């Protein structure tokens, strides 16, 4: 490929926030005047197909959930000015994005272990918990030893102070470090729409999650002020069936819940079984990188260096 490649990955398996962080980096690049493409393998697709699937060109959604996968589909719905392309071979996805969609930079969602494609910039998402218990799979959460973090160009540390993230970077042997802040947005009701103010802090709810690390989502729901009375956990990328929708609604009615809260990623997979009673609502999670101006300057420098070396 002839365009710069930025990888966003993690040492730990699951639940690190790579996908919302990919969305944030894509939006940052658009604000910088770039035309980014997100290249995804489309893990867990209901209908995997050979070749390259364009889920979104830079202007509109053109794909489908079944052939995209939940995370690419979620990104395609949310990111204006960004192409989302899925293929088992992300080199082929990138070539198509360059030749047919006019993109200027590629983003690899979950790309730290993807050695088949050369990257110009490696961003590594790390939680302090990764360092507290650095045990490799299958006994622990780490895909690789901590020593491999030295190959990253910057570490992005989630939800810690400036001093704490400096300590994380020092332990990993990296000099470039940024912080990542999580922000839980207002619950968005899928159907039916309640009266204004009906669903908010204090509302009695159950929560459903089919993601890696569901307890973090449940913690976010509690921190947002909801009265969380019951939780249901499904495996990551679970394909919800009618029996699942019936089970979820029955649990909500038994708990006398006003609403069923779920993640945006689960929301796209549950949409086929709407309407729900009580109503289904998604709780959006956004991530931001700080200091924002320094992160933007870092990206600009990396892109300029990669383009200069390719000239």
122 with 257, same domain?
Answer: no
* 251 and 268 co-located in one domain: yes
pLDDT digits (tens, 9 = 90+) for 69-85: 999 999 999 999 999 99
pLDDT confidence of 194, banded at 50, 70, 90?
Answer: low
Same domain, 157 and 130: yes
The pLDDT of 169-186, averaged and rounded, is 90
**Where are any strands of DSSP class E within the chain?**
5-10, 36-40, 53-56, 83-86, 105-109, 121-126, 154-158, 177-184, 188-191, 204-209, 227-233, 259-263, 280-283, 285-290
* Residues 275, 240 share a domain: yes
Q: Are residues 291 and 279 in the same domain?
A: no
Output the pTM of the full model. Answer: 0.88
pLDDT at 228 over 60: yes
For residue 43, CA distances in Å to 46, 126, 133, 262 come to: 9, 22, 27, 20
- Going by their DSSP bridges, the two strands 83-86 and 53-56 should be labelled as antiparallel
Give the CATH number of the domain where residue 52 resides.
3.40.50.300
Q: Please check whether residues 247 and 294 belong to one and the same domain.
A: no
Q: Residue 195: which domain range?
A: 186-283
Which CATH number characterizes residue 216's domain? 3.40.50
- Find the mean pLDDT for residues 153-158: 92
**Least confident piece of the model among 3-12, 144-153, 176-185:** 144-153
* pLDDT of amino acid 17: 81
Statement to judge: residues 109 and 230 lie in one domain: no
pLDDT at 195: 58
- Within this chain, do residues 295 and 209 fall inside the same structural domain, yes or no? no
How many domains would you assign to the chain?
Answer: 2
| Residue with more model confidence, 245 or 118 | 245
Q: Is 31 helix (H, G, I), strand (E, B) or coil?
A: helix
Per-residue pLDDT band for 249 (boundaries 50, 70, 90) equals very high
Characterize 135-169 residue by residue with b for buried, 16 or more Cβ atoms within 10 angstroms of its Cβ, and e for exposed: eeeeeebbbbebeebeebbbbbbbebeeeebeebb
Share of the chain above pLDDT 90, in %: 63
Lowest mean pLDDT among 29-43, 51-65, 147-161: 147-161
Do residue 174 and residue 196 come from a single domain?
no
Residue 13 shares a structural domain with residue 33: yes
Reported as a single tens digit per residue, the pLDDT across 104-137 is 999 998 755 444 556 689 999 998 888 887 777 7
CA distance 86 to 56: 10
Compute the average pLDDT of residues 134-151: 79
Which backbone phi and psi does 150 adopt, to 5 degrees? -60, -20
Average pLDDT over residues 160-189: 89
**pLDDT of 196 higher than 70:** no
* Same domain membership, residue 303 and residue 237: no
Higher pLDDT, 9 or 227: 227
Please check whether residue 231 is in contact with residue 255, taking contact to mean a CB–CB distance below 8 angstroms.
Answer: no
Mean pLDDT across the stretch 196-225?
A: 89
CA 156/CA 22 separation, integer angstroms: 12
pLDDT for the residue 63: 92
What pLDDT was estimated at residue 127?
A: 86
């Amino acid at each position: 490929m002839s365009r710069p490649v930025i990888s966003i990955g993690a040492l730990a398996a699951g639940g690190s926030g790579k996908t919302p962080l990919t969305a944030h980096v894509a939006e940052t690049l658009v604000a910088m005047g770039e035309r980014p493409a997100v290249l995804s393998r489309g893990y867990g697709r209901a209908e995997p197909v050979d070749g390259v699937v364009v889920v979104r060109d830079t202007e509109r959604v053109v794909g489908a959930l079944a052939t995209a996968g939940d995370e690419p589909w979620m990104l395609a719905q949310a990111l204006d000015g960004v192409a989302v392309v899925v293929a088992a071979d992300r080199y082929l996805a990138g070539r198509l994005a360059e030749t047919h969609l006019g993109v200027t930079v590629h983003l690899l969602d979950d790309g730290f272990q993807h050695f088949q494609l050369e990257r110009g910039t490696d961003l590594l998402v790390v939680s302090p918990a990764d360092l507290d218990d650095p045990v490799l799979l299958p006994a622990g959460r780490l895909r690789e030893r901590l020593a491999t973090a030295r190959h990253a160009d910057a570490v992005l540390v989630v939800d810690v102070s400036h001093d704490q993230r400096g300590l994380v970077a020092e332990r990993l042997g990296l000099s470039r470090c940024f912080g990542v802040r999580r922000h839980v947005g207002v619950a968005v009701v899928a159907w039916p729409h309640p009266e204004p103010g009906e669903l908010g802090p204090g509302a009695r709810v159950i929560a459903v999650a089919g993601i890696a690390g569901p307890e973090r989502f449940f913690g976010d729901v509690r921190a947002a002020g909801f009265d969380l009375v019951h939780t249901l956990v499904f495996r990551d990328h679970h394909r919800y069936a009618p029996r699942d929708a019936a089970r979820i609604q029955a649990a909500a009615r038994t708990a006398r819940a006003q609403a069923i809260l779920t993640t945006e990623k689960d929301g796209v997979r549950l949409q086929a079984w709407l309407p729900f009673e009580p109503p289904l609502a998604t709780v959006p999670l956004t991530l931001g990188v700080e200091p924002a101006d320094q992160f933007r300057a870092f990206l600009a420098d990396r892109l300029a260096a990669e383009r200069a070396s390719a000239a």
